[in-house]
Structure formats: structure tokens, C-alpha cells
């Protein structure tokens, strides 16, 4: 089967049957195209272990982005693995369709070092949430954004997509996340109150929950806040709160997850609330809570010997 037509069919399968986002499909397209062009493969049957091994060596020697404008770093192991995952998923689809080619289990992913989390302390989190001051519409909006992030663990793209017709009579709402998957997230009393105060000051007819606002009340700016704008305001309030670490919406998402685990939530429940497709993604947070185990061990172990 011709590799190009096979790739097109595979990408259509990802988009239509698997329901992946167009951005994800574009990434798969880029990774597979890179492999086919490197290996000079015209037919799917020509994919061999040797071709994949040569491709892995090629990827490992590629240069990635410039680091601080000086030198270039090698392509990260994670990025290398994205190429291999795309190829493995493609081969699995081909075998499912009865096309003879390399079996996907012949491709092993590169081992990567344990990912570290960017975290802020409970005190820093409290200062961040309290950083927006005053009753101006923009301050109330920003307070609502920060409280909503910590209450729900939403991704920045998910928060930016919200509309103001959210039913605040309930303590929960549904959100469509990655891969068009729907999950339920929950509103804390403080988040709900912050949103109510903010919406009470809204005089426009924009459907978006969070909109741009001008400092000049006479100048109507409007328009949905972009993910970049939300990232900038989180950074602004982190600086205002005196936090020296880099703080992003994803850092608040980390705080949401670790807070749940440290207070006794089970990992499966946290996985569902974060919208992780694979529990392995959620398990990174268990390493953060391991410090609590040390405290328990020191407090309760071998007390009779002391």
C-alpha cells in the first residue's frame, strides 16, 4: 500500500473515528512525513526495524531550538518519542486493516528522566489568589480566573473557552477537553462567589466568560481573552505576590492536583478531574506527595524502640 495514501487514510481515521483535534492530527502528519521522507519509503511494506533504527539515530542527532539565543540543544527525548508514538499508532492502524508491515511492538520508546514539577508553596498560592485587589471589573475578572483555575484544575485553553451562561446554581459543570472528551469539574464556594461578583459588573453582551477590558471605562474593548492574555495576567499577579518562580496556569493546575492527593484523594479520581487519558500522566503527582510518607514514617515507625 502506498505510504502517502495510507497516511492520508490514517489521518482521516484519527480525525473522524478517534475524534482527535485538528492540531493533534497535524502533529501526527508532521511526524510521519518526517519518517517517510528520511527513510525514503514509498510503500508501507517497506517499513523495517533497520529503517526505524536509522530514523531513531537521525532524530537523536537532530538539533532542537536555540537555548537563550546561544547554542542549539539536541531534540528532546520527549519529542523523539512523539515521532515514535505516531509511527507506532500508524502501524497499529495498518495491521488492523490487514496491511502487512512492521508490527508496532517492535518499536520501543526512548527512556526519559523523571519529569519534575514546577510547584509553588501553599503560602505562595494563597498570596497569588489574593493578589487581585479592589472592585474594578478587571480585578474581579482576574480574581475569578485565579480562583477558577485552582478550584477546577482547568487547562488554560479550557478556561478561555468558557461562556458566561455557566449555571452557577450548581457546584459543577462539564468541560470539553483534549480529544473532545467531556469531564465534570467542580466549583468551590470561593470560586463561585468570585465569578458571581465579576459577572454582576459585566454590562456587555459578549458571550465569553472572560473578556478583555480597557482601563478607561468609556472605552469599550471587549472580546474573549486569549490563552496568551490569561498566561500574562497569571504571571503579573505572581510577580505582584512576590513569587520568584515562574508561575503559569499549568503551575496552578499542578497545585490543584497535589492539593487533592495530599488531602487523601485517590489517584483515579484525580485522573478524571484533570482529564488525563492515561493514568501514567497523573502518577507524576504521586512523587510530589511522597514527602508526606517520610513524615508519617518518622512519626509512627518503631516508636517502641525510642
Beta strands in the chain (DSSP E): 63-67, 71-74, 172-176, 182-186
Cα gap 166→146, rounded to integer Å = 17
Which residue, among 143, 154, 141, 273, has the nearest Cα to 209 in the 3D structure?
Answer: 141
105 class by beta-carbon count within 10 Å (0-12 exposed, 13-18 middle, 19+ buried)? exposed
Question: Among residues 183, 173, 245, which one has the least CA distance to residue 209?
Answer: 173
Q: Are 257 and 282 in contact (CB under 8 A)?
A: yes
Active site residues: 155, 178, 250, 253, 276, 285
Phi first, then psi, for residue 200 (nearest 5°) are -65, -30
- Whether residue 131 contacts residue 237, with contact meaning beta carbons closer than 8 Å, is answered with yes
- Listed in order, strand segments (DSSP E) in 56-127 are 63-67, 71-74
Q: What share of the chain is helix, strand, coil (3-state, %, to 5)?
A: 55, 10, 35
Coil, strand, or helix at residue 36? helix
User: What's the rounded Cα separation, in Å, for the pair 213 and 173?
Assistant: 26
Helix, strand or coil, per DSSP, at residue 172: strand
Q: What end-to-end distance do the CA atoms of the chain give, in Å?
A: 73
Amino acid at each position: 500500500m502506498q505510504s502517502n495514501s495510507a497516511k492520508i487514510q490514517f489521518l482521516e481515521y484519527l480525525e473522524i473515528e478517534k475524534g482527535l483535534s485538528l492540531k493533534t492530527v497535524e502533529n501526527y502528519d508532521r511526524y510521519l512525513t518526517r519518517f517517510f521522507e528520511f527513510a525514503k519509503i514509498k510503500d508501507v511494506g517497506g517499513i523495517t526495524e533497520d529503517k526505524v533504527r536509522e530514523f531513531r539515530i537521525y532524530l537523536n542527532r537532530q538539533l532542537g531550538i536555540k537555548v537563550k539565543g546561544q547554542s542549539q540543544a539536541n531534540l528532546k527525548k520527549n519529542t523523539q518519542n512523539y515521532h515514535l508514538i505516531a509511527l507506532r499508532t500508524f502501524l497499529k492502524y495498518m495491521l488492523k486493516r490487514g496491511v502487512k508491515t512492521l508490527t508496532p511492538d517492535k518499536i520501543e520508546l526512548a527512556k526519559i528522566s523523571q519529569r519534575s514539577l514546577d510547584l509553588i508553596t501553599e503560602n505562595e498560592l494563597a498570596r497569588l489568589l489574593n493578589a487581585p485587589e479592589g472592585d474594578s471589573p478587571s480585578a474581579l475578572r482576574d480574581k475569578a480566573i485565579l480562583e477558577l483555575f485552582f478550584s477546577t484544575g482547568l487547562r488554560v485553553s479550557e478556561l478561555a473557552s468558557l461562556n458566561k451562561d455557566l449555571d452557577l446554581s450548581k457546584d459543577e459543570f462539564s468541560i470539553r477537553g483534549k480529544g473532545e472528551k467531556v469531564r465534570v469539574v467542580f466549583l468551590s464556594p470561593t470560586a463561585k462567589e468570585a465569578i458571581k461578583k465579576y459577572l454582576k459588573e459585566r454590562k456587555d453582551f459578549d458571550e465569553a466568560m472572560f473578556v478583555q477590558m480597557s482601563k478607561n471605562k468609556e472605552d469599550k474593548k471587549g472580546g474573549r481573552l486569549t490563552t496568551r492574555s490569561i498566561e500574562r495576567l497569571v504571571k503579573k499577579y505572581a510577580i505582584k505576590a512576590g513569587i520568584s518562580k515562574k508561575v503559569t496556569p499549568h503551575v496552578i493546575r499542578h497545585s490543584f492536583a497535589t492539593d487533592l492527593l495530599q488531602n487523601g484523594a485517590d489517584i483515579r479520581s484525580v485522573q478524571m478531574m484533570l482529564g488525563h487519558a492515561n493514568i501514567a500522566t497523573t502518577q507524576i503527582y504521586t512523587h510530589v506527595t511522597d514527602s508526606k510518607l517520610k513524615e508519617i514514617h518518622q512519626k509512627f515507625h518503631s516508636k517502641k524502640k525510642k
